[in-house]
Amino acid sequence: MLEKAFYGSRSYYAWILFLLIVIGAGAGCYAYQLVDGLRITGMGRDISWGLYIAQLTFLVGVAASAVMVVIPYYLHNYKAFGKITVLGEFLAVSAVTMCGLFVIVDLGTPARAFNLILYPTPNSILFWDMIVLNMYLVLNIVIAWNVLSAERKSTPPPGWVKPLIYLSIPWAVSIHTVTAFLYAGLPGRHLWLTAILAVRFLGSAFAAGPSLLILLCLLVRKVSKFDPGREAIQSLAKIVTYALIASIFFVGLEFFTAYYSQVPGHIHSLEYLYFGLEGHAKLVPWMRISALLAIVALVFLVNPATRRNEKTLAVAAALTFISLWIEKGLGLVLAGFIPNPFEHITEYSPTAPELMITFAIYAIGLLILTVLYKVAISVKEEAA
Amino acid sequence: MMKSRRSFLKISGACLLGLGVKPVLNAFAQAERMEIAPNPNALRAGRWALVVDITKCRDDCTDCINACNRAHNIPDLGRTKEEVKWIWNESYEHAFPGVEHEFVEERVKHQPFMVLCNHCDNPPCVRVCPVQATWKREDGIVMMDFHRCIGCRCCMAACPYGSRSFNWTDPRPYIPEGRMNPDFPTRTKGVVEKCNFCVERLAKGLQPACVESCSSGVLTFGDLDDPNSEVRKVLGERYSIQRKPELGTRPRVYYIL
C-alpha cells in the first residue's frame, strides 16, 4: 500500500520537498547541538526542561485523542466515525513519533539512550512513559494498517485486530496519565504537584486532538475526492466542545485551590503565568491570549449556529488548538520551574537552533502524517 | 522471494535471540569477578550527615566552596545560567523559603548559608532516574554515575533543593588553569552531577574536603546512627533546622542558627 505515497500532484511533491528542507535544516542544528551540548538551547540550571519536553507533553495529548474516534466507533458502533478512525489512528502515529523524537533531542547523552532498556527501572516514570508510548505507537500502526488493508480488499479486518483495538482504548488514556505523572509526583514543584494534572491533561488532549482532526478532515475533503462526512465532523465538534469546557473548568479549579488557600507556593507559578511575578512576565501575554482564544472558541462551539457552520467551526477548532498548545506546550512545563527551589526567578526563551530543531521534528511528524494520509485517502478513493 | 524473506527472518531471529542470551551468560561470568579490598582506614557510617553551625561562619569566607571546587574539578563557566555548583552560598530567605519572616534576627538575615546536596534519606532524584544513574548507598550518600547518566534531567526537576547541576557543555576547558585534581574524574557534556559527600576521601579515611578546609569549626560531619558521634552530640545540644522538611525527603544536612 505504501507505494501510493509516491503518486501525487505537483503541490503534493512541493509540500514534501518543503518538509524535507525544514528537516534538513533542523538536522544541521541538531548536529551542532550534538557537538556543543545542550548549551545551544535556552535551558539552564533553573529551567532544565524547555521547549522540547513541553512539545512532548502537548503531543502526547494529540496522540491520546485518537481514542475519541475509536471509542464511539468500536464500542458504540457509531458508524459515522468508520470513515475517519484510520485518520485518527494515523494522527496518533505521527504524534507519538514526534514525542519520541523530542525525548531523544532533549537527552544530554543520546548515545546512551539504550540505557533506558538495559537498566529497566520500574520506579521511574520516564521508564514507563517510554514503554507506554512505544507500545501505543505499535498498536496504532498495526491496527490502522490492517484495517486499511482490509478495506482495500473489501474484506473485514482479521479477527486478531479486534482485541488490539480494545486494548488501545485504555492504552491511550495511559499514555497521557503516565506523562502527567512525570510532573505530578515531584516534591517542591507546586504548579505540577496537583492530583488533577492527569485529568487536566486528558481534558485538554480531547479538545486539542479532535480540533486538529476536524481541520485535517476539512483539508482532506478540499484536496482529495474523499469526504470524511459532515456527520463525523459535527460529532468531533461536539467532543471538542465538551472537552474544552472540561479543560477550562480544570484550570479554574487550580486557581480556586491556589488563591482561596492563599498558600504562596501554589499561587506563585499561576501568578507568574497570568499576572507576572516580581516584574517577570514573559509568558503573561501568551497565557492571556490562550485564555482569550479558549473563550472565543467556546462561544463559537457552544452556539449551535456557529458550530454547524463549517467555516466558523474551522476557526473555533484552530483557536482551540492554538490556545491549548500555549497552555500545555508552553506555559505548564516552563512555569513549573518558575520560581526555582530557591524562589529565584529565571526566565526562559528558546534559541534559534532550538526552535529549528523543534520545527524539524514537527516537519518529520507532518511528513509521516502526509504519507500515511496519502495512503489512506488513496485507498478510500478507490474503495468509494 | 518468499523463501529468501523467510530465511532472512530466521537468521534475524537467531541473531536477536543470541543478543538476548548474552547478558545471561555475562551474569554467570560475573561470578568470577575480582573483589577489591577496601582501604582498612576508610571511614564508615550507618548514615552520614553534615551539621552546619552558621553562628561560626564568617561572611567573607569561601574556603569550603574553594576546597570543594578544587577537589572535584568543578568548572568555572562564568555564566550563571549553566553553572555547575556543588556547594555555594544562598541568603537565608532563599535557602529557607517560607521559614523567613520580616522580623528575623539581623545577623541571620545577612548571613550567607552554604547549600549543597542534602543526601536525603528519601531522595526524589533516585526515585525518578530511569537508568539508576543516581542511587543511595547503604550509608545514606546519594551517588551519581557519570557514565550511566543519559542526561534526561528528571532528577533536576525532582530535586526540591536545586542541588543538581547539568553539564550543558563540555566542562573540561573551563577547569581553571593549574587547578586540575588528577585524583578525581572530570565530567563530559550532557550528564548531571552534584555533591557526593566526598566518598572518594571517606574511602581513604579522610573527612570531606569542605569539612577539612573549614578552620572556624562550622562543619561537623559524622554518623547519625552512632549516638556518640560528634554530629549526634551537636544535634542533641543545639536546636537545628533542615531545608524544606515538610516535603518528606528527610534531608541529612542540618543548620544551627
Interface of A with B in 125-144 (CB under 8 A): 125-127, 130
Positive or negative, the CA dihedral A341, A345, A350, A354 is: negative
The pLDDT value recorded for residue B7 is 79
Closest CA to A203 of A133, A251, A273: A251
Interface of A with B in 235-274 (CB under 8 A): 264-265
Say yes or no for a CB contact (<8 Å) between B160 and A44: no
Residues of B in contact with A48 (CB under 8 A): 153, 156-157, 166
Closest residue on chain B to A122 (Cα): B130
B37 inside domain: no
Residues of B in Cβ contact (< 8 Å) with A348: none
B175 is a domain residue: yes
Lowest mean pLDDT among A204-208, A226-230, B199-203: A226-230
* d(C-alpha A20, C-alpha A22), whole Å: 5
Minimum distance, in Å, between the CA of residue B87 and any CA atom of chain A: 14
Best residue in A40, A109, A126, A333 for a mutation probing chain B (most B CBs within 10 Å): A109
What is each CA distance from B55 to B58, B105, B208, B211, B257, in whole angstroms? 8, 12, 21, 16, 6
For chains A and B, count residue pairs whose Cβ atoms are closer than 8 Å. Answer: 142
Residue of B nearest to A111 (CA): B150
Q: Is the pLDDT of residue A383 over 80?
A: no
Residue B206's domain comprises 48-255
- To test the contact with chain B by mutation, choose from A33, A38, A102 the residue with the greatest count of B C-beta atoms within 10 A, namely A38
Please give the residue that has the higher pLDDT: either A16 or B26. A16
**Chain B residues inside the 8 Å CB shell of A188:** 159-161, 244, 247
Q: What residue spans define the domains of chain A?
A: 1-185+352-383, 190-215+237-350
B83 interfaces chain A, CB cutoff of 8 Å: yes
pLDDT for the residue B32: 57
pLDDT of B33: 57
Split at pLDDT 50, 70, 90, the class of A311 is: very high
Q: Which of B94, B97, B191 is facing A108, going by the closest CB pair?
A: B191
Does some domain include residue B65? yes
Q: Is the pLDDT of residue B4 over 80?
A: no
Q: Is residue B195 one of the residues assigned to a domain? A: yes
Asked whether the predicted pLDDT for residue B12 surpasses 90, the reply is no
Say which of A109, A183, A342 has its CB closest to residue B151: A109
Separation between Cα atoms, residue A374 and residue B54, nearest integer Å: 69
Q: Span A84-95, mean pLDDT?
A: 94
Cell, residue A136 = 501505543
Number of structural domains found in chain B:
1
B124 lies within 8 A of chain A by CB: yes
- CATH number, residue B85: 3.30.70.20
Residue contact A38–B159, C-beta within 8 A: no
Is residue B98 a part of any domain in this protein?
yes
* Predicted confidence (pLDDT) at residue B31 exceeds the cutoff of 60: no
Distance from CA of B131 to the nearest CA of A (A): 5
pLDDT averaged over every residue in chain A: 94
pLDDT-derived band of residue A140, with 50, 70 and 90 as boundaries?
very high
3-state secondary structure of A362: helix
Residue located via cell numbers 478540499: A222
ipTM: 0.90
In a domain, B186, yes or no: yes
Backbone angles phi, psi at A103, to 5 degrees: -70, -45
CB contact under 8 A, B190 and A37: yes
Average pLDDT over residues B78-84: 90
Using the beta-carbon criterion (under 8 Å), do A37 and B148 form an inter-chain contact? no
In a domain, B218, yes or no: yes
Q: Which residue of B has its CA nearest to A32?
A: B169
pLDDT range class, residue B72, cuts 50, 70, 90: very high
Contact B170 A337 (CB under 8 A): no
Cβ separation of A108 and B154 shorter than 8 Å?
Answer: no
Contact A117, B175 (CB under 8 A): no
Write down the pTM of the prediction.
0.91
Backbone angles phi, psi at B88, to 5 degrees: -155, 175
Cβ atoms of B134 and B108 closer than 8 Å: no
Q: How many CB atoms lie within 10 A of CB A13?
A: 11
User: Average pLDDT of chain B?
Assistant: 91
* From B81, B130, B247, residue closest to A44, measured CB to CB: B81
Q: In the predicted model, is pLDDT for residue B3 greater than 70? A: no
DSSP string across A41-91 = SS--SSS-S-HHHHHHHHHHHHHHTTHHHHIIIIIS--GGGGGTHHHHHHH
Q: Do A108 and B153 touch (CB under 8 A)?
A: yes
